[in-house]
Structure 1
Amino acid sequence: MPGRHRIGKTFRFEAAHSLPDLSEGHQCARMHGHSYAVEFVLTADRLVPPGFVTDFGELAPVKKLIDSTLDHRVLNDVLSVAPTSENLAAWLASWFVEHVEPSLPGRLVSVRVSETASSWAEFVLEER
């Protein structure tokens, strides 16, 4: 049957940020924190034995990056752009493609960042 397999892996971390370029009085202009969830979605043209897009264990470098760089940090100090969920998703996607993807059988499709249970931003990579 025609189709494509996709897998997703979610990582969680706590961090703070502010968006000082917002108008005075906007709640997000003040320093505040979130319990972030970040989902990486991968696909592959064919499965590798025993039937994986990518073994979830091969995503361990993502956990290491999140724990060492993002968790319990002020994102304004980590990112060179405004620490919005949109920018964070693009930053994580770029890092993944450079540092993790070359050693995987699968390829990254998207990164979704949630600041709350009801809101998210997603960076979708161009078809490659």
Structure 2
Amino acid sequence: MGHRIGKRFTFEASHQLPGLPDGHKCGRLHGHSYTVEVTLVAEDLVEPGFVTDFGDLAPFKEHLAEAFDHRHLNEVMTVAPTSENLAEVLAQWFITELEPAIPGNLFVVRVSETASSWAEFRPERAA
């Protein structure tokens, strides 16, 4: 896979997960300080030796701020607002909206609700 880079972003949001047994704490309205980490890969570097310039990831930060920060995720996502689903939603946005404009390719999106737990989504890529 060659070279990899990663960048972390944060936002605050609430959610409650549907379909859980009565009394499950995640079924109650609660919030998290989310951390989202993206990893990009490239076989070859662009001048002056980047996978992509970290500054080129600013639109992703803006998207997180506008679409997710201080929001109730149940209201802004069309799927259950789990970390797994959020990672996939963010990967799809990144691939569609940002990847065509920058060097490098998205390798993985990792979403953490807490310091000790995370979920990843790795997009399927044609060989």
SS at match of 2:89: helix
Which residue identity lines up with residue 75 of structure 2 in the other structure? D
Distance (Å, rounded) in 2 between the aligned partners of 1:125 and 1:68: 23
SS at match of 2:32: strand
SS at match of 2:63: helix
Per-residue Cα deviation, 1:41-72 (whole angstroms, up to 9, x for no partner):
00011000000000000001111101111000
SS at match of 2:103: coil
Which residue identity lines up with residue 12 of structure 1 in the other structure? T
RMSD: 0.8
Task: Report whether the alignment pairs 1:40 with 2:38.
Answer: yes
Task: Report whether the alignment pairs 1:122 with 2:120.
Answer: yes
Calculate percent identity across the aligned residue pairs. Answer: 62
Distance (Å, rounded) in 2 between the aligned partners of 1:69 and 1:124: 21
Distance (Å, rounded) in 2 between the aligned partners of 1:34 and 1:81: 18
**Structure 1 residue 36 displacement after superposition:** 0.3
**Structure 1 residue 127 displacement after superposition:** 3.2
Task: Report whether the alignment pairs 1:80 with 2:78.
Answer: yes
Distance (Å, rounded) in 1 between the aligned partners of 2:39 and 2:125: 13
SS at match of 1:94: helix
Match of 1:54 among 44, 47, 52: 52
The alignment's TM-score, normalised by the length of structure 1, stands at 0.96
Distance (Å, rounded) in 2 between the aligned partners of 1:106 and 1:64: 19
Question: Which residue of structure 1 aligns with residue 22 of structure 2?
Answer: 24
Q: Number of residue pairs matched?
A: 126
Are the counterparts in 2 of residues 15 and 75 from structure 1 also a CA contact under 8 Å? Answer: yes
The alignment's TM-score, normalised by the length of structure 2, stands at 0.97
Per-residue Cα deviation, 1:66-112 (whole angstroms, up to 9, x for no partner):
11110000000010000000000000000000000001110000000
Distance (Å, rounded) in 1 between the aligned partners of 2:51 and 2:39: 10
Which residue identity lines up with residue 89 of structure 2 in the other structure? W
